[in-house]
Structure 1
Amino acid sequence: MQSRLLPACLTLLLSVFVSSYSAPVAAADTEVAESLEYRLIGPWRGGRVTAVTGVPGKPNLYYMGAAGGGVWRTQNAGQTWENLSDGHFKVGTIGAVAVSKSDNNVIYVGTGEAPIRGVTTSHGDGVWKSIDGGATWAHIGLPKAGQIARIEIHPTNPDIAYVGVQGQIWGGSEERGVFRTTDGGKTWDHVLKVGPETGTSDLRMDPTNPRILYAAMWHHGRKPWFIMSGGTEGGIFKSIDGGDSWTKLGGGLPEMIGKIGVDVSASNPERVYAIIEAEHGKGGLWRSDDGGKAWALIDGHRVLHSRAWYYIHIAADPVDENTVYVLNVPLMKSIDGGKSWEQLSTPHSDHHDQWINPDNPKNFINGNDGGATITFDGGKTWSSIMNQPTAQFYRAETDDKKPFRIYAGQQDNTTVAIASESLYGGIGVEDYFDVGGGESAHVAFDPANPQLIYATTINGTLTEHDRETQLTRMIIPYPEMMYGKDPKDLKYRANWNAPVEVDPHDPSVIYYGTQFVLKSDDRGRTWSQLSPDLTRNDPEKQGRNGGPLTPENVGAEFYNTIFYIAPSQHEKGVIWVGSDDGLVHLTRDDGASWQNVSPKHRGKYSEEAYINAIEISPHDPAKAYLAVQGHKLNDFAPYIYRTTDYGKRWTRIDAGLPKDQFVRVVREDPTRRGLLYAGTEGGMFVSYNDGADWKPLQLNLPPVPITDITIRHDTLVLATQGRAFWALDDLFVVRQDAEGVSAGDVAVYRPGVVEMRIGDGGAAGDSEGSNPPRGVPLYYRLGEDAAGPLTIEIIDREGRVIRTISSEESLRDKCLKANEDPRSPFELEYPSKKRGLNKWIWDQRRDGVTCIEDVDIFAGFGGPKVPPGEYRARVSVGDASAEAAFSLALDFRVSASPEEVQAWSAKLDETAALLDDVLRTLGQAREARSDIEALMADHPGDTELQAAGTAAIEALTGWDRLINQHLHQTYEDEDAWETMLAGQVRYLLDVIDYTGAPVTGGQIARLGDLEAEWVKRLAELDAIVKGQVAPINERARQLGLEHITLPGQ
């Protein structure tokens, strides 16, 4: 019987993972086949949500749009979320989500988040629509919209919709303002257009009259060093004819006006609220009580309208005209029309959108920088934000530990060090922790000993975190409060995402980037300046970072700063440095001298595209790669440069990359020269030929910006801007594709060294990251679909076939299903026979034990684990076959000696042999009993035969019940009735298997007792056969009948 103690261990044989997809057999330039899959690591800790909505009459149904993570839906009021846009959308950045009131299956989504940051903000690609509740989607227009702030749908006709287009971030564009469709998105009318720098920051429809609309128009734009917000073009515009014509509202509103949020009271549509950015003393909450004719400033406190470019959202209660919410860093509520306010506590700050249920105004959903959260009691309690894998990460580093950890800073949250896999269960909250620094961190440490962890964050902050003591120290070279100051007036200009690095040759040395490279060799107690200013140092770009209305000096727009530091892993004293204004410098003498080795970049608008990443080739100290970004200069083209001579000459190597996806990072494979990986604004790409051309490596990865790539062993780790961390395991397949191993009728990839983990790792639960499948990943290519059976054989060092897996159903498979416990159903899976790349996970077990039906071990027919050592996998189809060698290594946590491991393996085999003998003999005894029953049925009048047969059947049945507990029909029955010999042996096999080496004295003693019991049971069976079954055979021979096969014969 399968033990409840170790259920996964016993079912591993049955529930192995199989994927098969069609892909061509070809040489190294073939796109990697789809059998490879990225694995979501997590964490399931929400990231920025910029759009939310609910559905009247369905209080458990809500939608959210994440800043970089796509569209999600909950059908249980926020207990769990499911993504709806993956596989459909081309981008993950969402600005607006709207559901039709008259047909809830109709959903409009505007891409391009509206709270536009200088960092972690992506541009959209227009409007998407679903007519089946999000099951399928179609792109319906406005591809050049950039950012979309709001969508309003006609309450009775879902074909009529209005889209508030905020526009492109980094340059002027004509596609701004309000667009209308009257045919469900087939055509669009540009019904409100103000200017190429003025777009719609909010749009509201009168809840009682769909012909009345209010549009908030915002004059704005960005440069890498400046936020422009405000002008005389903007303002609140009103239409009373469904958008055919618009009137700019005055009535006391400021003429010089910035970003605006607007909403209309459903209980009194003459009451219109607006939160407005304006000149000092004029910004704040404004209100009209006559439909926008006249306005009054109700409250100008800056808590309502600070950092207007990022916030400025408002939500009017649909039932009480005097209740209104303003969304800023806090969520503020007024119940007296805006005269006084209280702050509502939410799971996270920085609020961007809110939908209030018109049927119950205490029920609303809020979107903030930590995710989407739902309340049913007016904000006293909220649903969790720890169930949304939408984190935005800036960079990623990995250590050498087992399992290795990934380190990064999460936007508007803490740093994270998260395990790449969990040893038990899915990757959950217990598998990650904070390591100092903050949201925009670079993280650095000695990979071999990550006890001292250095991390940066905003305001020029730099910390050292001691993992052992849990102490975090501030080691800022010059602790000057940067907020509010002009960069040109600072001693050190530190970027929002300032770099820190540990010297790979001396982990006591750390480097920190401002406009200079700073160096410390005493853990940050003292610092020396290692370089001159390595930026363009243009004072004209170092002044106020925001205007003309609201200053913005928090660091995200600090310019002329060092953005990347790359000490050479090959040569001590060699350091590459990249700046945010397009310069690359190199020292080869530990900072004594520096050379400007910048490529002759000729971007679309400027040579100042910033150096986002520098990759020093792991194979050649003179070789390096650059990922250069020009999107902040309105240039979205991909730029990758390569040098082979320390930067004397550069070659651009981005052929084959999408022309509208800028490159964020490029890395070279540490084991395969010239195998490159590139992360772009839209996803992943690979080059097999050192950048001569590129091919997609997107596979099952959602559309999301890739902010960093790191490679550890056979795993490619991705940091994303909106979907947390992902990993591509089994990188050996990509590497061997680069070698052209896939040619031929059958090809098998070499898995390398695979570690044997004790336990099964466990499946991921809700809100947990996934582990790699336990076992040996066997990948094979087929030149064509196999017409006949395909077999996979595992061969040990002595050349013995220890496991055979077939693509065809066998009698054994039918037996396994016949023993299935209805409480734990399973599906048998088979190796794929399809053309292209296929995958099978070998569970590191020998062939299973004998299977017979009606035995209380249920699914426990799997064979024992094999010991560590050298093995081969052979895949055969007809006359064609191929092999690949690999090694199994001991679990890193096991300290047993080789002798102890061999003894453990021997006991496993001995126990499995005992179980096999027990089951085989039991099967023979049952076969004899069936033969007797058949003989008696054929000769009902033979009284001598009937009497002898009845006695023999009773004896065999009694013996059967000493071996198998016939009352066990499900696992829980073991609580009521004793487990007999077969189940006891299976249980011991599981215990020895699960525990690992060394074998314990108790296990050895128990095996001895069970073997002794089996000897006793065999003697009893022998007595039954000789005393009661053999005479029946004699009688059968006398009558000339077919004799009975006796157990053991």
Structure 2
Amino acid sequence: MSLLAQTTTDANSIQQSLEQKSLMMNSSLVKNIEFINIGPTVMSGRVVDVAVNPENTTEFYVGYASGGLWYTNNNGTTLTPVLDNAATLNIGDIAVDWKTGTIWVGTGENNSSRSSYAGIGILKSTDKGQTWQNVGLLDTHHIGRILINPNNPDEVIVGAIGHLYSSNKERGIFKTTDGGKTWAKTLFINENTGIIDVAVAPENFNVMYAASWQRERKAWNFDGDGENSAIYKSTDAGNSWTKIADNSGFPTGNGVGRIGLAVFNENTVYALHDSQYKREPKSKKVTSYNLTKEQFKNLTSAEVLALRNKTLDTYLKEYGFREKFRAEGVKQLLKPGGMKPKELMTFLDNEMAVAFEEPVIGAEVFKTTNGGKNWKKTHTNYLDGIYSSYGYYFGEIRVDLQDENSIYVLGVTIIKSKNGGKNFTSISKENTHSDHQALWVNPKKSGHLLEGNDGGLNISYDDGENWEKLNNIPVGQFYAVNVDHEKNYNVYGGLQDNGVWFGPNNARIDKSWKQYGQNPYQSIMGGDGMQVQIDDRNSNIVYTGSQFGSYFRIDRQTGSRKYIQPKPAKKEKPYRFNWQTPIQLSKHNQDILYLGSNKLHRSLNQGDTWETISEDLTHGGKKGNVAYGTLTTISESPFQFGLIYTGSDDGIISLTTNGGGSWTKISDNLPQDLWVSRVIASKFKKARVYATLNGYRFDDFTPYIYRSDDYGQTWINIGKEIPTSAVNVIKEDSENENILYLGTDNGLYVSLNQGTSWEAFSNNLPNVAVHDLVIQPIAKDLIVATHGRSLYKTNIAALQKINDSILAKSVAIFKVKNITKSKRWGNSRSPWRAANTPQVEVPFYVNADKKITIDVFSGKVKINSISIDADKGFNKAIYDVSFSEKGLKSYKKANKKAAIQKADNESYYLPKGKYTLKIGDEKISFKVE
């Protein structure tokens, strides 16, 4: 029986789920198993807004799309998270009343990308982020802008874009005059048109301008323009609004896209418009392209790499290539060992191109000097290279309040004009990442800029001629993670717009690397970083790539790389590749690699050649401008070569038991048409398989989690206890078949009984989207890839020992790691540094909240005791390897020849030997070596 999903999650369900998760976090059996962040910080994530104290510009807040809110009072030298105790880290806009210190956060990103997560309305803090209150607008999902009346901090204007993938009424402009206790909707256009920007006259809060935006996003198509995209004006502080774009010189009609606003004074306003109207047709006799397709095909890689970026961008734009394929990304693909121009052209044609037509106008700047009665475009030429074909992702413009003619336009690059927009120059200089999203222009000092982009935060004091990068916090947006099997194992991961990086799992995450010039994490791929597979036999051989199946085999030792994307045979239809194309190395033979398009491909020789081992395993795609009808997940059973599962973005799970000889659809009894985020063949039972479905692209946040014990013939719903949040990944434990880990758009969960019940797994892990999980089986570490806060890890050795017998005990104590004796214990190399204090972690389980005592023995002599108030579930005590005063006397009495010296910190530490830890009748030994 087919079970239809695609029901938009209502606001009440979201509110209830937030309360449910809070309760789960408080009662969780694993609430004391702590995660640590392992970075990286050298790259960053998407910044959506900055708020700077105008009286002290070294103090500011930075909002990240999915990484939370961060505060600095030392000009960005350090930043501290201040939203981690809130129910979401997803941000659309921030506003601060600096006189009172009140912070307003509009949750839900204001862009409309593939990973623009919905929010939970408006959060407010009156104590600099120590506590947060949700003050409403829960169903807005995405917030465009927040304005605070500088003369009345309780009067606030909010522009809400509304749902991303569905229609809804809670969008438009909302106003409160009582600090968020009540809201009035003062502007509503329709259920598909929201407000992306609101800007106020600096000298008069009564005068403000708003930009409406009509958009429709589906998994297979994005339409970011329409006749309801327009400019509105209010002269009564947002209580009423008048549409001012009609018959004014500003574009109207179905081609009007996203609009950004910058107000110099109540009459002088700049508007940045993403025009989706077509450019004027060019003469067929004279080509305008710098390169024809035939010319491009015949170039060598070196010749393309030598092209000016502007020339290459013109080619890419005018031939309709979409998304991130601009000059910088293309040149990355063409670097030595990569694609040839002919291969690249085929790749772009097949995967990224829309039907050939005249390109759209793209970015254009308009200005009014009479309060919006008339608008005039400031420039006569096209602003090429600002938006390419995805202006919906940008839309910010700023004006210097000290100079009416000094403006800044943000897009793929960032440009400035000193003559009111007639001419522009680029200020995308070294140290700035592309894709610019936020800009603060000092209203009192021209040339002082704070700028946010997809790669983090930058600051300039000379009007963008030079930039300093302020990336020192872990806010990377990871899509995927993996590990190798080196003794000190490495962690690998692909990130949104920041490529693929790897580094040692125990890397120091601080700024000390700048002293010796090499960050512990290293980049191995540009573009949008995707999945990573590492050869178990030789961790230098890595398979990874960027969006839409652009994968390479890389030899890290030699630096060589080979482009390995499967190509269709002549006259065969082009393959469709997902944004996050799945790959998997076979555990049965590490020369065998699987890769999914809309079909499954297998290479027997490390990607050198391919065979297609399936027909189309999707519903066949849909008409649109986003690749759809693609495979999203692959899993081969460790029990049998050729026993393979696949899942697609349109809801099909398929099984082959004979290496692709025949396929069976096994998802008919599951909710239909949803994105299959994972299908996992069990490592413990051959017939067992897990599947997670994701309704994010229908604004359906139901957790769909299933287990089958008969190869998918029947399914059991094991997700009923999970609070409402879309599911991205499920992972079996590496040793204990009863343990499952689950990553959602709002955090991590663990089950100790194959999904019968779940525990929130969140100590030091904020409410952030978890995209991927991997276990390093030797170290027994769980690595968590978050889409907003980089990577976390925790040791799960104790957790893996859990079983019914232990759960029934009053107390259980787990293995304690040995420790190496050091002369530094209790001493310091400098009088200005604290003494080195050793630590032994003592993991244990108790079946109820209770006070417990851990006794430390040397033989039969008790040498110390530790008391701790333990919570029901897993706990960890820290023993500093010292003697108590009484224990030292007892030890010396029993060991008369022992020579134990006092350390600088007045403590006496254990000599080498074997020691026992006891909790009641439970005991465990460890060594000081």
Aligned residue among 649, 669, 686 for 1:621:
686
Aligned residue among 71, 74, 83 for 1:73:
71
Matched AA of 1:398: V
Match of residue 161 from structure 1: 156
Deviation at 1:753, TM superposition (A): 5.9
| Distance change (3 Å), C-alpha of 1:493 and 1:673 | same
Match of residue 301 from structure 2: none
Structure 2 counterparts to residues 886-901 of structure 1, below 5 A = none
Match of residue 38 from structure 1: 35
Retained in 1: the 8 A contact 2:417–2:423? yes
Are 1:515 and 2:513 an aligned pair? no
Deviation at 1:191, TM superposition (A): 0.4
In 1: Cα distance, 2:387 partner to 2:510 partner: 45
Match of residue 698 from structure 2: 633
SS in 2 for 1:144: helix
| Distance change (3 Å), C-alpha of 1:222 and 1:255 | same
Match of residue 302 from structure 1: 384
Aligned residue among 844, 848, 855 for 1:779:
844
SS in 2 for 1:293: coil
Deviations 1:443-466 (A, max 9, x none): 112235322100131243111111
Deviation at 1:576, TM superposition (A): 1.2
Aligned residue among 842, 863, 867 for 1:804:
863
Retained in 2: the 8 A contact 1:272–1:291? no
Match of residue 98 from structure 1: 95
Deviation at 1:780, TM superposition (A): 5.1
Match of residue 762 from structure 2: 698
Deviation at 1:687, TM superposition (A): 1.8
Match of residue 396 from structure 1: 481
Are 1:840 and 2:877 an aligned pair? yes
In 2: Cα distance, 1:204 partner to 1:373 partner: 23
| Distance change (3 Å), C-alpha of 1:679 and 1:759 | farther
Deviation at 1:562, TM superposition (A): 0.9
Are 1:286 and 2:375 an aligned pair? no
Match of residue 450 from structure 2: 365
Matched AA of 1:286: F
Match of residue 212 from structure 1: 207
Give the root-mean-square deviation of aligned CA atoms: 3.0
Deviations 1:883-925 (A, max 9, x none): 2335669xxxxxxxxxxxxxxx6xxxxxxxxxxxxxxxxxxxx
Retained in 1: the 8 A contact 2:864–2:883? no
In 2: Cα distance, 1:662 partner to 1:96 partner: 23
Match of residue 505 from structure 1: 588
In 2: Cα distance, 1:751 partner to 1:426 partner: 34
Retained in 2: the 8 A contact 1:655–1:694? no
Deviation at 1:341, TM superposition (A): 0.7
Match of residue 885 from structure 1: 924
Aligned residue among 228, 238, 242 for 2:237:
242
| Distance change (3 Å), C-alpha of 1:349 and 1:757 | farther
In 1: Cα distance, 2:561 partner to 2:422 partner: 43
SS in 1 for 2:519: helix
Retained in 2: the 8 A contact 1:717–1:725? yes
Deviations 1:521-558 (A, max 9, x none): 222221111211111113xx1x441xxxxxxxxxxx21
| Distance change (3 Å), C-alpha of 1:888 and 1:436 | farther
Deviations 1:303-335 (A, max 9, x none): 344311101111111110001101101111111
Matched AA of 1:873: L
Match of residue 866 from structure 1: 912
Match of residue 711 from structure 2: 646
Retained in 1: the 8 A contact 2:399–2:407? yes
Retained in 1: the 8 A contact 2:840–2:880? yes
SS in 2 for 1:332: strand
Retained in 2: the 8 A contact 1:460–1:496? yes
Match of residue 576 from structure 1: 645
Match of residue 418 from structure 1: 503
Deviations 1:141-165 (A, max 9, x none): 1000111011111121111110010
Deviations 1:48-89 (A, max 9, x none): 1111121111110111111111111111111111000011x2
Match of residue 11 from structure 2: none
Structure 2 counterparts to residues 44-55 of structure 1, below 5 A = 44=41, 45-55=43-53
In 1: Cα distance, 2:666 partner to 2:824 partner: 51
Match of residue 112 from structure 2: 116
In 2: Cα distance, 1:78 partner to 1:131 partner: 22
Aligned residue among 578, 581, 585 for 2:654:
585
SS in 1 for 2:227: coil
Match of residue 560 from structure 1: 629
| Distance change (3 Å), C-alpha of 1:517 and 1:886 | farther
| Distance change (3 Å), C-alpha of 1:715 and 1:413 | same
Match of residue 538 from structure 2: 449
Counting matched residue pairs gives: 784
Matched AA of 2:574: K
In 1: Cα distance, 2:838 partner to 2:230 partner: 57
State the TM-score, normalizing by the size of structure 2: 0.79
| Distance change (3 Å), C-alpha of 1:443 and 1:760 | farther
Matched AA of 1:564: T
Q: Which runs of 5+ in 1 are unaligned?
A: 1-28, 481-487, 546-556, 764-771, 808-830, 876-880, 890-904, 906-1049
Match of residue 144 from structure 1: 139
Retained in 2: the 8 A contact 1:262–1:314? yes
| Distance change (3 Å), C-alpha of 1:721 and 1:732 | same
Match of residue 166 from structure 2: 171
Retained in 2: the 8 A contact 1:675–1:688? yes
Aligned residue among 620, 638, 650 for 1:537:
620
| Distance change (3 Å), C-alpha of 1:572 and 1:426 | farther
Retained in 2: the 8 A contact 1:305–1:312? no
Match of residue 257 from structure 2: 259
Deviates more, 1:170-179 or 1:410-419: 410-419
Deviation at 1:777, TM superposition (A): 3.4
In 2: Cα distance, 1:311 partner to 1:732 partner: 45
In 1: Cα distance, 2:372 partner to 2:642 partner: 66
Structure 2 counterparts to residues 481-492 of structure 1, below 5 A = 491-492=574-575
Retained in 2: the 8 A contact 1:617–1:625? yes
State the TM-score, normalizing by the size of structure 1: 0.71
Deviation at 1:336, TM superposition (A): 0.5
SS in 2 for 1:632: helix
| Distance change (3 Å), C-alpha of 1:590 and 1:387 | same
Deviates more, 1:413-422 or 1:376-385: 376-385
Deviation at 1:388, TM superposition (A): 2.0
Aligned residue among 435, 447, 452 for 1:350:
435
Aligned residue among 58, 61, 72 for 2:56:
58
**Which has the larger Rg?**
1
In 1: Cα distance, 2:823 partner to 2:786 partner: 31
Which protein is richer in strand relative to its size?
Answer: 2
Deviation at 1:642, TM superposition (A): 0.8
In 2: Cα distance, 1:672 partner to 1:759 partner: 39
In 2: Cα distance, 1:93 partner to 1:833 partner: 35
Deviation at 1:91, TM superposition (A): 1.1
Match of residue 908 from structure 1: none
Matched AA of 1:223: K
Are 1:717 and 2:783 an aligned pair? yes
Aligned residue among 467, 485, 506 for 1:382:
467
Match of residue 23 from structure 2: none
Match of residue 826 from structure 1: none
